[in-house]
């Protein structure tokens, strides 16, 4: 991916998370999320946008001793499973893309998972731009 696309995805993730607003961890009223954020119910990677955003909203990050950043989330089934399915679908797309481009070893599984998250955020940005 081009650096400007990654920067756009990062900015979009911040915008998506701030658009949804706060709601208690472990609860999700989809209709109120749609109403509060003005989102149309759209589908990204086979899942509803507002559910994916709710999952991303619960992610936390912290710096490790080695200077790395750890991103994690403990998600309930209502938002965790759709996020997992969306990421697995995108990982599959990326693996197919790698194979078409000359081999499945084009990136590691970890790199593919990280790229899937960036692609998901980018697609969420496109969904917001279209609404």
Q: What is the pLDDT of residue 98?
A: 84
Q: What is the pLDDT of residue 62?
A: 85
Q: What is the pLDDT of residue 6?
A: 55
Neighbours of 90 (CB within 10 A): 22
CB 5 within 8 A of CB 94: no
**CA-to-CA distance for 8 and 93, rounded, in angstroms?**
21
pLDDT in tens, 61-81: 888 899 888 888 899 999 999
Q: What is the pLDDT of residue 9?
A: 59
| Residue 74 CB partners (closer than 8 Å, separation 6+) | 58
Neighbours of 46 (CB within 10 A): 11
Residues in the chain predicted with pLDDT less than 50, given as ranges, are 1-2, 19-41
Q: What is the pLDDT of residue 89?
A: 95
Q: What is the pLDDT of residue 82?
A: 96
Q: What is the pLDDT of residue 28?
A: 36
Burial string for 14-39 (b: 16+ CB within 10 Å, else e) reads eebbeebeeeeeeebeeeebbeebeb
The phi and psi torsions of 67 (rounded to 5 degrees) equal 90, 0
Q: Shortest CA distance to 15 belongs to which of 32, 39, 35, 46?
A: 39
How many secondary structure helices (H) and strands (E) does the chain include? 5, 4
């Amino acid at each position: 991916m081009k650096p400007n696309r990654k920067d756009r995805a990062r900015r979009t993730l911040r915008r998506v998370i701030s658009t949804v607003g706060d709601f208690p961890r472990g609860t999700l009223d989809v209709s109120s999320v749609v109403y509060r954020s003005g989102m149309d119910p759209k589908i990204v990677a086979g899942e509803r946008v507002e559910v994916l955003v709710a999952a991303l909203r619960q992610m936390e990050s912290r710096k490790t001793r080695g200077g790395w950043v750890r991103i994690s989330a403990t998600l309930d089934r209502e938002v965790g499973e759709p996020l997992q399915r969306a990421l697995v679908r995108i990982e599959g797309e990326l693996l197919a893309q790698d194979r078409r481009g000359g081999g499945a070893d084009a990136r590691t599984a970890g790199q593919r998972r990280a790229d899937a998250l960036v692609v998901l955020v980018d697609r969420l940005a496109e969904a917001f731009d279209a609404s």
